[in-house]
Amino acid sequence: MKLQKPKGTQDILPGQSEKWQYVENVARETFKKYNYGEIRTPLFEHYEVISRSVGDTTDIVTKEMYDFYDKGDRHITLRPEGTAPVVRSYVENKLFAPEVQKPVKMYYIGSMFRYERPQAGRLREFHQVGVECFGSSNPATDVETIAMAYQLFTELGIKDVTLHLNSLGNTESRLAYRQALINYLTPLRDSLSKDSQRRLDENPLRVLDSKEKEDKVAVENAPSILDYLDEDSQTHFDAVRSMLEVLNIPYVIDTNMVRGLDYYNHTIFEFITKVDKSELTICAGGRYDGLVEYFDGPTTPGFGFGLGLERLLLILEKQGIELPLEPSLDVYLAVLGDKANSKALELVQAIRHQGFSAERDYLERKIKAQFKSADYFKAKMIITLGESEIEAGQVTLKNNKTRQEITVGFEEINSNFAEIFKTLV
């Protein structure tokens, strides 16, 4: 049997991984400007961490989670999303204690796992970037976090991004709207998809988020949740909209957007862009003021978002955005003969210790083949080392583009390669 990677996973190879690293580094630098620190949580959690916080009736829990019992008969799940593990860690490590640190701002980058039909930009093991901010109910926090995502897309050069905005209100507003939606959808039950018929009984707001054609038709004239916001919820939403306008971040109101997780309240949002004439959600999130308390922590408001790296890279590719990558090698050392083997290792290590990237031949190939390797690695400089160079105690260094050459001694390379490199390259 030929061994292959599991369905819905991918190998990120050299040449591709540089793009991932670039996007991750831009994200890290952007989040740093907003005073976010990195958190790394386990790849797997106790089942209840996800099922009870995300919601027992969500598609993630009912259809998509990779869960199993381990050898100690503990019910374990691979993490399908990032917020619940971060909240669990926030409470477990008592990060809510120091008042001086509030709000607590954290970001994560890592693998998530969901069992679903693999497609472009959507895999069973996927990689997510996310942020979580704890301790502030100020609507300015909502807007600052949205603005941070918007800045990330700007830094990456992504075009045609539209912010979709909605409010789920507080618990009272949401309950009132839930009943109004049930009253509207119940006469239409038979026209709904099987999944939405189930959702109507378990979580009717999820019907609004359905991608099935019959469901989209059914909810076209559904009541708007914005008509059911109480005074506090309306005030919060109005402040968010006003501050977005102050920051010149355009948005559209999307009353059918509810997000797929049960823990959201008040502001929710998605950034959507067009790819091949189709709309793709690039980033999504919102406010979750009850989740920390749900994990037995103190009452603590929260706000965050998540975005998929696979989808982000797909959008960059489809929009023709060239990332400023320079996959080049500083020095390639061509080695001629057994007597040069040890000295080649000494020189290449000395060059690396002085902060330069370097590679050498290990396969005793002909000089022409080694020069082809230098070109493949886009080496800026080539050093040729053979028996005659060892006897002379010096080598010739050549600029691989201009062909300019200089001859220097071994000691100079060992102690002052930076000056040599600056002179030649």
pLDDT at 39: 98
Q: Which domains does the chain have, with CATH numbers?
A: 17-170+230-318 (3.30.930.10), 331-424 (3.40.50.800)
In the predicted model, what is the mean pLDDT of residues 154-170? 95
Calpha distance 82→109 (Å, rounded): 9
In the predicted model, what is the mean pLDDT of residues 91-96? 94
pLDDT at 383: 97
Residue 327 has pLDDT above 90, yes or no: no
Q: For the packed helices 17-33 and 139-156, what is the interaxial angle rounded to 10 degrees?
A: 140
First to last CA, the chain: 51
pLDDT at 163: 98
Calpha distance 392→379 (Å, rounded): 25
96: tokens are 């809510």
If pLDDT is split at 50, 70 and 90, which confidence band does 362 have?
very high
Provide the 3-class DSSP secondary structure of residue 405: strand
- Helix/strand/coil (H, E, C) string of 210-251? CCCHHHHHHCCCCCCHHHHCCHHHHHHHHHHHHHHHHCCCCE
pLDDT at 120: 66
**Are 259 and 55 in contact, with CB atoms under 8 Å apart?**
no
pLDDT in tens, 380-399: 999 999 999 999 999 999 99
**Other CB atoms within 10 A of residue 15 CB:** 9
Residues, the chain, total? 425
pLDDT in tens, 398-424: 999 999 999 999 999 999 999 999 999
* Distances, alpha carbon 291 to alpha carbons 8, 131, 220, 294, in Å: 31, 15, 31, 5
pLDDT at 256: 82
pLDDT at 1: 67
Nearest CA among 122, 119, 124, 129 for reference residue 36: 129
In the predicted model, what is the mean pLDDT of residues 138-166? 97
Residue 312 has pLDDT above 60, yes or no: yes
- DSSP for 75-137, please give it: EEEE-S-SHHHHHHHHHHTTTT--GGGPSEEEEEEEEEE--S--BTTB-SEEEEEEEEEES--
pLDDT in tens, 56-87: 656 677 778 899 999 999 999 999 999 999 99
**Are 156 and 123 in contact, with CB atoms under 8 Å apart?**
no
Percentage of residues in the chain with pLDDT exceeding 70?
Answer: 97
pLDDT at 198: 87
Average pLDDT value for the chain? 92
pLDDT at 398: 97
Residue 121 has pLDDT above 70, yes or no: no
pLDDT at 46: 95
Residue 398 pairs with which residues in a beta bridge? Answer: 382, 405
64: tokens are 């998509």
Which strands make up the sheet holding 405-409, listed edge to edge? Answer: 358-360, 331-335, 381-385, 394-399, 405-409
Calpha distance 281→352 (Å, rounded): 43
Rg (CA), the chain: 28
Q: Who has greater pLDDT, 57 or 1?
A: 1
CB environment 175-206: b (16+ within 10 A), e (fewer): ebbeebbeebbeebeeebbebbbebbeebbbb
* Distances, alpha carbon 39 to alpha carbons 36, 42, 118, 134, 361, in Å: 10, 10, 28, 13, 40
**Other CB atoms within 10 A of residue 90 CB:** 23
pLDDT at 57: 57
If pLDDT is split at 50, 70 and 90, which confidence band does 261 have?
low
Q: For the packed helices 83-92 and 47-54, what is the interaxial angle rounded to 10 degrees?
A: 110
pLDDT in tens, 246-257: 999 999 999 888
- 274: alpha, beta or left? (left if phi > 0; alpha if psi -120 to 50): beta
In the predicted model, what is the mean pLDDT of residues 106-122? 87
In the predicted model, what is the mean pLDDT of residues 151-158? 96
pLDDT in tens, 5-51: 999 999 999 999 999 999 999 999 999 999 999 999 999 999 999 88
pLDDT in tens, 173-226: 888 888 999 999 999 998 999 888 888 888 888 888 788 889 988 988 899 999
Calpha distance 339→416 (Å, rounded): 24
Q: Who has greater pLDDT, 53 or 39?
A: 39
**Are 407 and 361 in contact, with CB atoms under 8 Å apart?**
no
Residue 107 has pLDDT above 90, yes or no: yes
